[in-house]
Amino acid sequence: MASVVRGVVKAIKEKGFGNFIRELREEGYIRCLADGNLLKTKIHSIGATLVGVDKFGNKYYEKLEGIQFGRHRWVEYAQKGRYNASQVPPEWHGWLHYITDHTGDELLMLKPKRYGVEHKENFSGEGEEFIYHSKGHTLNPGQRDWTRYQSWQPAKKE
């Protein structure tokens, strides 16, 4: 506990109070007071090793001692307000689910350069504009116009 307080005092000294509070909010320490999941993750992360951070800012932790095997890897999502599992990019998925011991940073090397697409999280339930509709889908905005003819434009006269 004393070390935590010492760390806080040191951080305030280095960054100034305003910056410290902002960082506190960005890191989710404010929000975790209301969000039990987040609080649990924060407490869990004390003493764990940070294995990597992906390009979205999700942090991947691992702790080998004093924890049940199979629960020793976890992620702290970059978004503190709205987080879900689809925010984990594929290269980290394997590491996180104990499929492989290679971290996402290592697996990123294997991503095809030419046709590898960017990871997109699942926006289901987040509103029409987030949802991807394929080209032929009725709800694709590009497909709304079913007119298959071109009408004569009177303005073209003279």
Partner 1 sequence: MGFVLRALQRARPAIGGRVSTFRWITSTPDLHKPEGAAAAEPAAPEPEIPPRTPVGGARVQFSNPDDAIEVFVDGYPVKIPKGMTVLQACEVAGVDIPRFCYHSRLSIAGNCRMCLVEVEKSPKPVASCAMPALPGMKIKTNTPVAKKAREGVMEFLLMNHPLDCPICDQGGECDLQDQSMAFGSDRGRFTEMKRSVVDKNLGPLVKTVMTRCIQCTRCVRFASEIAGVQDLGMLGRGSGEEIGTYVEKLMTSELSGNVIDICPVGALTSKPFAFKARNWELKGTESIDVTDAVGSNIRIDSRGPEVMRILPRLNEDINEEWISDKTRFCYDGLKRQRLNDPMIRGPDGRFKSVSWRDALAVVAEVIHQVKPDEIVGVAGKLSDAESMMALKDFVNRMGSNSVLCEGNGPNPQADLRSSYLMNTSIAGLEKADVFLLVGTQPRVEAPMVNARIRKTVKANQAKVAYIGPPTDINYDHQHIGTGAETLVELVEGRHPFSSTLHSAKNPVIIVGAGIFERDDKDAVFSAVETIAKNAKVVRPDWNGLNVLLLNAAQAAALDLGLVSSPNDTIPSAKFLYLMGADDISLEKLPDDAFVVYQGHHGDKSVYRANVILPASAFSEKEGTYENTEGCTQWTVPAVPTVGDARDDWKIVRALSEVAGVRLPYDSLTAIRARIKTVAPNLLQVDERELATMSFELKPPVSQKISSDPFKPAIENFYMTDSITRASKIMAQCSASLLKK
Among candidates 30, 69, 29, 72, which has minimal Cα distance to 47?
A: 72
Asked if 135 interacts with partner 1 (CB under 8 A), we say no
Sheet holding 73-76, edge to edge: 49-53, 59-62, 73-76
Binding region for partner 1 (CB under 8 A) out of 25-33, 79-87, 114-122, 143-151: 143-151
Asked if 136 interacts with partner 1 (CB under 8 A), we say no
Contact mark string toward partner 1, 89..128, x via CB under 8 A: ----------------------------------------
Q: Compute the least distance from the CB of residue 134 to partner 1, in Å.
A: 17
The answer to whether residues 92 and 54 touch, using CB atoms and an 8 Å cutoff, is yes
Q: Tell me the C-alpha distance between 130 and 121, whole Å.
A: 10
Q: Which residues bind partner 1 (CB under 8 A)?
A: 146, 148-155, 157
